[in-house]
Structure 1
Amino acid sequence: MSTTLEWRIEPSWPAPPRVRALCTTRGGGVSTGPFAGLNLADHVGDEPSLVVQNRALLRARLGLPTEPHWLRQVHGCRVADAVREPRACRADAVIAMGPREVCAVLTADCLPLLLCDAAGTRVAAVHAGWRGLAQGIIEATIARLAVPPRVILCWLGPAIGPETFEVGAEVRARFLAQGGKDTKAAFVPAPGDKWGDKWLANLYALARERLRACGVDRVWGGEFCTYSDPERFFSYRRDKITGRMASLIWIDPDAG
């Protein structure tokens, strides 16, 4: 399980003390209307000045060493380097091989993954919707971390849950075609569907299978549903016009 505070969720995982990680909720911000709370996305129609204030609140509350490495997420499988590439580059994951660079992804139903190695020398944040999973964003990130998979730790942050994430038959077919002995179990027929056109997909199970296939079996989290918890989470599927939470991870050399 993970610890939920007013405006953030802290992973319960055995990461090294110098690895800092969390996911925000929608609580504690200044945005209003459909973005009410701590919206951290500047591309969803929220008042820009309010997003700036929310990001400043985030930095102040956490004492962040730098501005998070915000990405321009495109549901692909490109991995950015927090040191070598500019903020707002097109990517769906970001890695840091040293201290003080804050990796971040924004989500409102897609699955955020936070990863680190057991020595606390490298970290990564991943944005994984079904398209990113199918294209190999997890595999690409693990490859870029360049450590044995057995030393990687992973936390699965808040995403749309398996009882509410409805997809079409073509999505299921794409995953089944990619193999994986447990893929079929990650899809169940949607209630009321008579023709096999609609399925409920388990993003958490699909991600865990991809991680296992890569050799990563130290995985925590996955107990949330953004769609079903409007007080804590933004959800695009539920509301269409909405904000975004942030999942962040960085190395603090003074913490351990």
Structure 2
Amino acid sequence: MTLEILTSDALSPLRHGFFTRRGGASSGIFAGLNCGRASSDQSEIVAINRARVAEAMAAAPEALCAIHQVHSARVAVADPEAAPPEADGIVTDRPGLVLSVLTADCQPVLFADAEAGVIGAAHAGWRGTLDGVLEATVAAMVTLGARREAIAAVIGPSISQRAYEVGPEFLEDFMAEDPGHARFFANGEGDRYQFDLPGYGLHRLREAGVGHAEWTRHCTYSDPDRFFSYRRATHQGEADYGRLISAIRL
């Protein structure tokens, strides 16, 4: 099966993609394109999957730059010679490097100022988004020569509001930051709420001053044939889950 790659006109003409799980070599609960080295999938199979991604990005596997994601607001400048740093954002102005992030419900966000030749990628779960990883990624791009108003930012497949149930303590964390955050929560059953992670991500991107921000409107939880989902795997009692990859290059 060939790879399925979701793209956005906002990031054209740069090569980029939000890869679905289709077209990979993994099997079982990881069936498809599992690119997570931290998963319990066979490392050799994950390497094959990542090599397929690199080929789709017209790059060698060693050009695929990764980060050790820790739900932080830290951003690193890509260095293919170094070990993946602990960070949740990565930027570069070097042609040929492929920036990548892994997700399984969190937001994968790809950034580009095509005119300046600066790109970025971020893994933005609720914690990282609340702590400012999106703004930090934009700021790191500006340091490399990008202009905020020229940056396009696209949020890829993420868990949607209807699938993201949270408790009252979760709401309290957001309200403590800004009472206006209440608009990203809808009432659920009992004392539960439904959180709009992509809507919140778009809000933070626009507040950061980017020229364009959008979400592809794909829900990871609701489409098991195309996407891995940490929350869905947990609800189904599965021992582990696959990781989706999103990538961009100059």
Q: TM-score, normalised by structure 1?
A: 0.88
Once residues 216 and 174 of structure 2 are traced to their aligned partners in structure 1, the CA distance between those partners, rounded to angstroms, is: 20
2:33 pairs with 1:38? yes
Partner amino acid, structure 1, of 2:3? W
Alpha-carbon contact 2:206-2:213 (below 8 Å) kept: no
Cα deviation, residue 224, structure 1: 0.9
Once residues 196 and 121 of structure 2 are traced to their aligned partners in structure 1, the CA distance between those partners, rounded to angstroms, is: 20
Cα deviation, residue 172, structure 1: 1.6
Matched residue, 1:189: 187
Matched residue, 2:237: none
Of stretches 24-33 and 82-91 in structure 1, the one that deviates more from structure 2 is: 82-91
Alpha-carbon contact 1:13-1:155 (below 8 Å) kept: no
Decide which structure has greater helix share: 2
Matched residue, 2:43: 48
- Describe the SS at the equivalent of 1:105: strand
Taking only the aligned residue pairs, the percentage that are identical comes to 37
Once residues 210 and 55 of structure 2 are traced to their aligned partners in structure 1, the CA distance between those partners, rounded to angstroms, is: 34
Alpha-carbon contact 1:8-1:22 (below 8 Å) kept: no
1:41-95 Cα offsets, whole Å, 9 max, x none, are 1111101111111112222333215431121100111101113872422111110
Alpha-carbon contact 2:67-2:87 (below 8 Å) kept: yes
Once residues 246 and 229 of structure 1 are traced to their aligned partners in structure 2, the CA distance between those partners, rounded to angstroms, is: 16
Unaligned residue ranges in structure 2 (runs of 5+): 235-239
- Describe the SS at the equivalent of 1:163: helix
Once residues 92 and 85 of structure 1 are traced to their aligned partners in structure 2, the CA distance between those partners, rounded to angstroms, is: 18
2:220 pairs with 1:226? yes
- Describe the SS at the equivalent of 1:73: coil
CA RMSD of aligned residues (A): 1.9
Once residues 9 and 220 of structure 1 are traced to their aligned partners in structure 2, the CA distance between those partners, rounded to angstroms, is: 17
Alpha-carbon contact 1:16-1:119 (below 8 Å) kept: no
Alpha-carbon contact 2:106-2:158 (below 8 Å) kept: yes
2:151 pairs with 1:152? yes
Partner amino acid, structure 1, of 2:34? N
Q: How does 1:156-195 map to 2 (within 5 A)?
A: 156-179=155-178, 181=180, 183-190=181-188, 192-193=189-190
Partner amino acid, structure 2, of 1:129? G
Cα deviation, residue 10, structure 1: 2.9
Matched residue, 2:64: 68
Cα deviation, residue 16, structure 1: 4.4
Alpha-carbon contact 1:122-1:145 (below 8 Å) kept: yes
Moved over 3 A (4+): none
1:17-56 Cα offsets, whole Å, 9 max, x none, are 2x21101111111111111111001111101111111112
2:129 pairs with 1:130? no
Matched residue, 1:102: 98
Of stretches 60-69 and 125-134 in structure 1, the one that deviates more from structure 2 is: 60-69
